[in-house]
Amino acid sequence: MGSCLSIYNTWGCPLKNQSIDFSQIQRVLVAKLRHHGDVLLSAPVFSVLKKYYPHLEVDAYIYSETLPMLEGHPAISKFVLYDKKWKKLAKHRRFLEEWKLLKEIRRGSYDLVINLTEGDRGAVAAKVSRAPYAIGFDPQGSGMMQKEKCYTHLIKHTPKPRHTVEKQLDALRCLGLHPKEEERDLFFHIPEEARLRVETLLHENGVDEGQFIQVHPVSRWMFKTLPVKTIVEVLHFLHDQGKQIVLTASPDPLERKMNKEIVSLAPFAIDLSGQISLKELGAMIKMSQMLLSVDSVPMHLASALKKPTVVIFGPTCEQNWGPWRNPGARVVTQKLSCRPCYQPGCGGSGKSDCLTTLSSQSIIQAVEEVLEFKVLSKVGCLSSLVSEEL
């Protein structure tokens, strides 16, 4: 097995012949140790590898809690799972668990490791694997010392906003594999049991498949959410138009509390917060007429399923995280000089002015356009923006 190389040009890739001979590669490990949405956005990397080189066995190294995002992906042979609960163990027990996992990676006899995360854990896996080839993002001095020596290839960071899917596909480009635009779709598998469970749940609540609007107004990062008043105004408009409304959220107490407050002011909405799994969330989105969401996992699921979507962006960047290759998607945001700032509210307050001052009318306008099939955005491009200038 080869060792890590240390000769790079100023752009991050090897000096000469950055391509590799995939005919000599048999086993690949792709690491993506991030949150649910981030993991789903890595799906095209697996698809492209398997499409161009069907002989490859491609494994995924992810957090166990994010397994539903890639489970059932036809290009993935096996999952190597890191349990985030280990982080709460005593140091010696955590070390033992992580060491067992690294031994599993070593036994994998990988020929190529692709680390799609900037963190150290994927870099350590690349080093421990002893793979002849390993690629990761240029650490630029961050993380553990000499992290770059864990890799034979480095992915250059782009100075301007670039969608996360494209950033991850840069790992393949750096190896000489350039996917076509139509090959960059997301993939999300919905098992039959998830579909049947959602079908039953909707029936029990008197909701008609294909005739309801799914609203997911919450995020694990609450500074990305709209004021309750704004959401309620939109829901009342939709209700007046004869639309059925289904609210969803994770089991997180803060998310459920917010949806409960919304329902107290819009009692016609069906609140299914915390009642469905991630696979069932995908099934529900597929059965809906459209999705209305903030920047959160459901937006990415809707992109994978090509479901009409209106998504609200505040402090985060739609160019990095917006709907991907979804022609029926609209992004609602504001043209403010300070956004995107990625801050937990203005001045760290937990509340973002770009969301608190966003009018319900701009959201309603986008919803009307989506429902009337007036979206003109092209496949593969970011959605059109409905913006307010303040």
What CATH number is associated with residue 31?
A: 3.40.50.2000
Split at pLDDT 50, 70, 90, the class of 342 is very high
Indicate if the pLDDT at residue 2 is higher than 80.
no
pTM of the predicted model, to two decimals?
0.90
- For residue range 222-276, list pLDDT tens digits in order: 999 999 999 999 999 999 999 999 999 999 999 999 999 999 999 999 999 999 9
Task: Calculate the alpha carbon distances from 56 to 25, 49, 51, 110 in Å.
Answer: 7, 8, 10, 11
Confidence of residue 299 (pLDDT cuts 50, 70, 90): very high
Structural domains counted in the chain: 2
The residue to which tokens 């002011």 are assigned:
265
Structure tokens at 249: 């959220």
DSSP E strand stretches across the chain: 27-31, 57-63, 78-82, 112-115, 133-137, 153-155, 212-216, 244-247, 270-271, 290-294, 309-312, 329-335, 385-389
223 and 306 within one domain: yes
Measure Cα distances from 147 to 134, 174, 229 in Å.
12, 18, 48
Say if 278 falls within a structural domain.
Answer: yes
Domain assignment of residue 2, yes or no: no
Length, in residues, of the chain: 390
Q: Are residues 178 and 199 in the same domain?
A: no
Instruction: Kindly indicate the confidence band of residue 373, based on its pLDDT and cuts at 50, 70 and 90.
Output: low
- Residue 315 predicted with pLDDT over 60: yes
Separation of CA 369 from chain center: 25
Question: Are residues 196 and 327 both part of a single domain?
Answer: yes
Both 59 and 117 in one domain: the answer is yes
DSSP 252-270: -HHHHHHHHHHHHH-TTSE
Residues 313, 375, single domain; the answer is yes
> Is 10 domain-assigned?
no
Share of the chain above pLDDT 90, in %: 82
Same domain, 246 and 225: yes
pLDDT digits (tens, 9 = 90+) for 148-189: 889 999 998 888 889 999 999 999 999 999 999 999 999 999
Say whether both 276 and 352 belong to one domain.
yes
Average pLDDT for the chain: 90
Residues 255 and 121 both lie in one domain: no
Q: Where a domain ends, among 183, 207, 233? A: 183
DSSP state of 314: S
Note down the domain range covering 211: 192-389
Looking at 149, 183, 217, which one is the last position of a domain?
183
Residue 16 lies in a domain: no
Of 183, 213, 236, the residue at which a domain comes to its end is 183
C-alpha 33/C-alpha 36 separation (Å) is 9
Say if residue 176 is in the same domain as residue 218: no
Least confident of 11-20, 41-50, 62-71, 200-209: 11-20
What is residue 144's predicted lDDT score, i.e. its pLDDT?
Answer: 84
Has residue 383 got a pLDDT over 70?
Answer: no
Is there a contact between 277 and 68 (Cβ–Cβ < 8 Å)?
Answer: yes
